[in-house]
Amino acid sequence: MSKSEGLQVMLDAVLAAVEDKKATDVVRMDVRGQCAFADYFVLATGRTNRQLKAIAQAVSAVAHEYGLPAKIEGTEAMEWLLVDLGDIVVHLFLPEVRESFQLERLWARSENHEALDESA
């Protein structure tokens, strides 16, 4: 399996884990060529800080399945969690925080992003 194929398999597993924990407004953004530190961003919204933590732990478990460390940032405030998997960075927000930061607009130059549910 090529690196690109392996990355896609892991991205699919991350998206499945996020959706399994009932995240909403899930968006996958292809930031290759725009971002020096990642190839993909996954953005998702959770209703409560408890749900954000569960989603982050599910993403971390996927990383461990692929032999990658996954550090979860933002657990002090529990409003915006970031899970860094190297080539994939997962951003998990409470609704009002996501609206405030508007990462989709910041990275809007990316033509390769797609909402993965109808509510995005």
Annotated domain spans of the chain: 3-115
Say what the pLDDT of residue 102 is: 83
Say what the pLDDT of residue 119 is: 47
Cα(54)–Cα(51) distance, integer angstroms: 5
Superfamily per CATH, domain 3-115: Beta Polymerase, domain 2 (3.30.460.10)
- Which two three-digit tokens encode residue 18? 């996020």
Q: What 3-state DSSP class applies to 82?
A: strand
Burial string for 86-117 (b: 16+ CB within 10 Å, else e) reads ebbbbbbbbeebbeeeeebeebeebeebeebe
Query: Over the stretch 38-74, which tens digit does the pLDDT of each residue have?
Result: 999 999 999 999 999 999 999 999 999 999 988 899 9
Paired sense of beta strands 71-73 and 40-45, if any: unpaired
